[in-house]
Amino acid sequence: MRAAALCAAALMHWWCDARLTLGIYTRLDIQLAEPMSIKSFKDLVAWQRGIQLVVATYEVSRLLPDWERYDLASQMRRAAVSVPSNTAEGHQRGSRRDYSHFLSTSLGSLAELETHFVICEEVGHLSATHLIKARGYADETGRMVRAIQKGLRK
């Protein structure tokens, strides 16, 4: 019974975060909160997860060999930084079309970052366990960015 309750709580948390990304609810753990409006890109959970993705990517890139620090590591960090940066820039634009365009760029950067992760695994620089945290943030950020895009189409 306890496992089922925890699973339900986790699902509710993800659902509430997705609703927050669309500007419907404030951030909360399990229960619903008062409706709020998104006043700044910093209020977007997608942007917040993107920042966590950047930090996790920087942590992972430090594990790469020294000779990769200026090549692959630099590209990984740039792709990760692009995700919350484009989410923020799109949010500040005046039109839905511009916002959606910048969100598409964020999604492209997420795909680029995943490609870098795969390369790191394939050439033996990192194991899958090293990448769990960063990939988790990338997946969550991608779902939220796609949810925002879907909301913009309505």
Task: Please tell me the distance from the alpha carbon of residue 74 to that of residue 70, in angstroms, as a whole number.
Answer: 5
Q: Which of 134, 107, 137 is nearest to 118 (CA)?
A: 134
Query: Token pair 């339900």 is at which residue?
Result: 8
Q: What pairs with residue 35 in β-bridges?
A: 25
Q: Please report the pLDDT score of residue 34 as a whole number.
A: 52
For the residues 73-84, what does the mean pLDDT come to?
97
Superfamily of domain 42-153: 23S rRNA-intervening sequence (1.20.1440.60)
Residues 17-72 have pLDDT tens digits of: 544 444 443 444 444 445 567 789 999 999 999 999 999 999 999 999 999 888 99
Q: At what angle do helices 132-153 and 2-21 cross, to 10 degrees?
A: 50
- C-alpha 147/C-alpha 2 separation (Å) is 30
User: What are the sequence ranges of the domains in the chain?
Assistant: 1-37, 42-153
Residue 57 half-sphere exposure toward CB, CA atoms < 13 A: 29
Single pTM value for the model:
0.76
* pLDDT one-digit tens code per residue, 93-139: 979 999 999 999 999 999 999 999 999 999 999 999 999 999 999 99
d(CA 143, CA 154): 17
User: How far is it, in rounded angstroms, from Cα 92 to Cα 20?
Assistant: 17
